[in-house]
Structure 1
Amino acid sequence: MSKNKASRSNVKALKGASSEHAYRALMQEIVSFTLVPGEDLDEATLVARFGVSRTPVREALVRLAAEGLVQLVPNRGARVAPMGWNDIREHLEAFDVSQRLVTRWAAIRRTDEQVAKMDIERKAFETAFRQDDSVAMLDANFRFHAVIGAACRNSLLQRFYIQQLTADLRIARLAMTSECFPTERSYRSHVGQIVREHRELVEAIRERDGDRAEELARSHADLARKRVSESLTQTMTPAMEIRLGDQAADV
């Protein structure tokens, strides 16, 4: 390889690393509500904060917009995606459908290696639960379902499902962590059901039982929907732009 080609490759690698850095940092701030729904994202400010050029920041914003965490507004730049009742309702509806299909196909098409990876992430979730590490639980849950997404062996559906899982991280922070529950007992009961369903999902996929896998995926999505509905009626914030009335009736 010539020096010029090597130099261009190095520059490209550095830009890619900068974009990934900006993406990861922004995603964490959005899903943790350090950046609140509807907040403007000024490119110049982000460039200064992350110590990168404008191009990596723009690439990160475009990627986050594709995942539903950022809105790109014509002539206004970017802002953190809002979280109104309707936004959450539409997400949960779409998530229910995609999760059932992805899980059914995963049961039919999975490899033994993918089943082993699911079991690793299932155990990681349970370990994080025992250690009372809510953030690690959310991360392990994401990886667990991401492996199922890969096992469906349809790249278009997998990409859509991963986008939904990413958007779901923000909703999960509002409803699934221990501080979101009224009592410790209710929290442990809810997570206990998740643990049971994770184990049964792995077993159904291992047995290539598509019907059972889809049934469990439906139950899993319904469990999340009910928990989100309960949590949002108890802990609504102005930043979420949730109003009672017609919008609430749609949930």
Structure 2
Amino acid sequence: MAPKDADPTVAARRHGGRYIYEELRRQILTLQLKPGMPLDETSLATQFGLSRSPVRDALARLASEGLVTILPNRTLLVTPFEIEEFPNYVSALDLLQRAVTRLAAIRRTPRELDLIKQADARYLDAVASGDFQAMSELNKAFHLEIARAGKNAYLTASYDRLLGEGQRLLHLHFDYIMNSAGSTQLGRDHDRIVAAIEHQDGDEAEAAAHEHTMLFRQRFLSFLEQDLLRGMAVG
């Protein structure tokens, strides 16, 4: 017999706005809710069996993370992909990723190094199992552990938002990544970063972070070249 919370309506009633936020975020990141799709407070409230107030709060939080867009006429929609903005996204990601990784190498404590390694181990388990949703979330968790070890809250907050936006790009081409790189290669993606942080080598950490960003860029552009976006509205 399925657990009671397996019914989304029951879960939403028990957990309110937090559940709505987490469920909508999951659907957006995994592209179950497509880029550009309109979102209606009333319909969502009916779907989750709640009033419009927690739905509105959840949508506002998603908007603050850049996953939902509020148009001037108050229409809500899943933020479209703006592929032409991809170079700017990569530039911003590269700068922040280099900064937080360098700071982590310089400032991390032994405890923070352990947390980084534990986060990477959880990510590797997800890679081995082929669980895309877990891989996406745990990859983000790994990088945020690094950012927190750098002890700059402003950089961490900005990095968090960029990583969230990048999760949708990852889901868009996960199949391509797995077919082209394979789980063995994906499992080595973080090795150089972790080693540099362990050795407290700021220059090497920054170089490794840059390499990691460029690998993400290369994979995504290769995916686009394969014309795997045919027929999908991306903004």
Coarse TM-score class (shorter-chain normalised): 0.7 to 0.9
Matching residue within 52, 55, 61 for 2:53:
55
Matches within 5 A, 1:181-220: 181=177, 184=179, 186-188=180-182, 191-220=183-212
- Opposite residue 240 of structure 1, the aligned amino acid is V
Partner of 2:220: 228
Q: Does 1:114 align with 2:106?
A: no
Q: 1:180 and 1:202 mapped to 2: Cα distance? A: 25
Q: From 121, 143, 149, give the equivalent of 1:151.
A: 149
- Which residue of 2 is the match for residue 165 of structure 1? 163
Q: Distance in 2 between matches of 1:88 and 1:64?
A: 21
CA–CA distance in structure 1, aligned partners of residues 213 and 16 of structure 2: 35
Gap change, CA 1:87 and 1:23, over 3 Å in 2: farther
Q: Post-superposition shift, 1:212?
A: 0.6
Q: Partner residue of 1:247? A: none
1:238 aligns with 2:232: yes
Aligned residue number for residue 9 of structure 2:
none
SS at match of 2:50: coil
Distance 1:89 1:97 in 2: 12
In 1, are the aligned partners of 2:123 and 2:139 still within 8 Å (CA)? yes
Q: Distance in 1 between matches of 2:76 and 2:129?
A: 37
Q: CA RMSD in A?
A: 2.1
Question: What residue ranges of structure 2 are gaps of 5+ in the alignment?
Answer: 1-11
> 1:130-145 alignment to 2 at 5 Å?
130-145=128-143
Map 1:60-71; keep pairs closer than 5 Å.
Answer: 60-71=58-69
How many residues matched? 222
**Higher alpha-carbon Rg:** 1
Paired residues for 1:7-156 under 5 Å: 17-156=15-154
Are the equivalent residues in 2 in contact too, given 1:174–1:231 (CA < 8 A)?
no
- The residue matched to 1:238 in structure 2 has which SS? coil
For 2:219 and 2:233, the matched residues in 1 are separated by 20
- How many angstroms does 1:194 deviate by? 4.1
Deviation at 1:37, TM superposition (A): 0.7
SS at match of 1:71: strand
* Alpha-carbon distance between aligned partners in 2 of 1:204 and 1:87, rounded to the nearest angstrom: 31
Listed one character per residue, the Cα deviations across residues 1-55 of structure 1 (whole Å, up to 9, x for unaligned) are xxxxxxxxxxxxx99x522211111111111111111111101111111223222
Q: What is the match of residue 176 of structure 2?
A: 180
Percentage of pairs with the same residue: 35
Partner Cα separation in structure 1 for residue 105 and residue 184 of structure 2: 23
How far did 1:193 drift? 4.1
Instruction: Give the distance between the partners of 1:195 and 1:41, measured in 2 at CA.
Output: 37
Give 3-state SS (helix, strand or coil) of 1:92's partner: helix
TM-score computed with the length of structure 1 as normaliser: 0.81
**Residues 132-151 of structure 1: per-residue CA shift (max 9 Å, x gap):** 22222222211111111211
Q: Which residue of 2 aligns with 1:249?
A: none
Answer with 166-175 or 198-207: which moved more: 198-207
**Change beyond 3 A, Cα 1:195–1:238:** closer
- Decide whether the 8 Å contact of 2:30 with 2:133 is kept in 1: no
Change in CA separation of 1:89 and 1:49 when aligned onto 2, cut-off 3 Å: farther
Please state whether the residue corresponding to 2:134 is helix, strand or coil. helix
